[in-house]
Amino acid sequence: MKDLKLARCLAVLCVSASMFVSFGGSAAAAGATLRIGSDISYAPLEFFSKGDPKPRGFDMDLARALGARLGRPVQILDRSFDSLLGDVADGKIDLAISAVSDTRAREKKVSFIDYFLAGSGMLVPAGNRHHIFSLAALCGLSVDVQFATSQAIALQTQSVACKAVGLAPILLQQRATDDAALSLLLSGKSDVHVTDFPVVAYLARTLDGGKRFVVAGRQFDVVPYGIAVAKNNVALADAVQAALQSLIADGTYDRLLAKWGLGQGALRSTPIDAGTLYQH
């Protein structure tokens, strides 16, 4: 019996040690503050509620869960979207968790631990009077979008295609944040708001009780979201990947997805730089 108890104790110690190593090793790393950058204007992924300084959303909950699993306090820093990857690469922040699509171009700057699958979508006034069901239907229309996003690139490419077949280009209005871009649609200054599909679905469901806007067509350009980490910080990438996989394994990840109505984008594994597999 004593031998059995000893074996069990040793087994527990081995598992604990292996988890500690897989999550990043040293006591110094375990105690250091984890600086996480995010563009906090992207409900239901990251956003501020009126009168509450604490950022909310799926990404924010996931960031805190990762910090707890790594044994590191989390500092969430509100940054402009177009500065996030540069700040990660330069070491100004440790990670970026901000619905960042893992693409070939972005993988040249940073590495990504992929954690969610999402495409882009279009939000239009109820009734969809312009009969918009794909990007090809946007020729000649006014479209708002956040600057430096994958949607902005897709719209610029589509605008060139519009002109190539003799149609009017897209009247593209880019803003620094998604909220600022959305304000153009809300005020009638644009015909369409283009952003990530989970955001579009959330806006259609919540704005004015879900009666004023609808999702036009289906999501397009589906790619994984990735947690950005500096390419030379392999230890942190490995630790975050292991911690994320443990959150999936114990059900924490699924509970957070369910909380924010995002179960359709769940990933069951945590690949690194898998975005290229989704791009043509």
Q: Cα–Cα distance between 78 and 30 in angstroms, integer? A: 23
Q: What does the block give as tokens for 226?
A: 């990735």
- For residue 197, CA distances in Å to 68, 95, 214, 217 come to 29, 23, 12, 11
- For residue 129, CA distances in Å to 55, 125, 139, 216 come to 36, 8, 14, 11
To the nearest 10 degrees (0 to 180), the angle between helices 234-249 and 252-259 is 80
Q: 5: number of CA atoms within 13 Å, CB side?
A: 2
pLDDT tens, the chain, 280 aa long:
434 343 444 343 343 334 444 455 443 466 799 999 999 999 999 999 988 999 999 999 999 999 999 999 999 999 999 999 999 999 999 999 999 999 999 999 999 999 999 999 999 999 999 999 999 999 999 999 999 999 999 999 999 999 999 999 999 999 999 999 999 999 999 999 999 999 999 999 999 999 999 999 999 999 999 999 999 999 999 999 999 999 999 999 999 999 999 999 999 999 999 998 987 6
Q: What does the block give as tokens for 46?
A: 């990251």
Q: What is the pTM of this model?
A: 0.86
Report pLDDT for 23: 57
Q: Cα–Cα distance between 61 and 82 in angstroms, integer? A: 22
Q: 251: number of CA atoms within 13 Å, CB side?
A: 0
The order of strands in the sheet holding 111-125 is 74-78, 34-38, 95-96, 213-229, 111-125, 192-196, 142-146, 171-175
Report pLDDT for 111: 98
Spatial CB neighbours of 40, under 8 Å, sequence gap ≥ 6 = 46, 47, 48, 55, 57, 60, 76, 78, 98
Residue (of 79, 42, 35, 27) closest to 203 by Cα position: 42
Report pLDDT for 30: 62
Q: Which domains does the chain have, with CATH numbers?
A: 27-117+224-278 (3.40.190.10), 119-222 (3.40.190.10)
